[in-house]
Amino acid sequence: MHSPKEAKRLSDLVGKAMTPVCRKRGFASVDIIASWADIVGERYGTRVQPERLVWPRRPDRTDPETPPEPAVLVVHTDGATALMLSHDSAQVIERINTFYGWRAIGRIKILQKPVQVKRPEPKKSLRPLTRSEEERLETNLEGVENDRLREALKKLGAQVIARNGDKAA
């Protein structure tokens, strides 16, 4: 819980405000919209926009454990991207369903509309590590025998230390 003087993350505030709007469009929460680019990948993240989920009518169910039938995800994009997306739709559906953790989406309906392409913000370059930070990182990785794993952990550790400073060590 935040005290009144603590800063609140913008995502917490926007998420609470956006959730009712998302529910009107069939989304349970703002999560899929906020994470869209991460879910569908670089190719479609900025050029395809999810518009709504259309859930099939649910007959009266006696078993609440049975998951609902998959929904149709309505998206909009430009003509060229629509052609690529229709070809890759099975893979995109799989990624979305992996995000949800169950078979939430059965198919994608593509509407061709102009989309304002969002340019991703350039990533900030990280500062180089000091010699003592590099030595401490190497010491922490001494017990890792697999070379590929050690290099991956070293790269990750260097990024965490460069981003967070001494707090990460």
Is residue 44 scored above 60 in pLDDT? yes
Question: So where are the chain's domains?
Answer: 10-112, 131-168
d(CA 147, CA 78): 45
Residue with tokens 């039938």: 69
Q: Please, what sign has the CA dihedral across residues 129, 133, 134, 138?
A: negative
The first and second tokens of residue 6, run together, are: 């603590």
Q: Is the pTM of this model over 0.75?
A: no
Residue of 103, 115, 35, 102 lying closest to 75 (CA atoms): 115
Number of other residues whose CB lies within 10 A of the CB of residue 157: 20
pLDDT digits 0-9 by tens, 94-138: 999 998 888 889 999 999 988 876 665 666 788 888 999 999 999
The strand pairing partners of 54, in sequence order, are: 72
pLDDT digits 0-9 by tens, 11-35: 454 445 445 544 444 455 567 777 8
Residue of 75, 78, 76, 72 lying closest to 105 (CA atoms): 72
Determine the residue type at 36. W
pLDDT of res. 22: 46
Percent of the chain surpassing pLDDT 70: 70
3-state secondary structure 28-56: CCCHHHHCHHHHHCHHHHCCEEEEEEECC
Instruction: Give the distance, in angstroms, between the CA of residue 162 and the centroid of all CA atoms in the same chain.
Output: 24
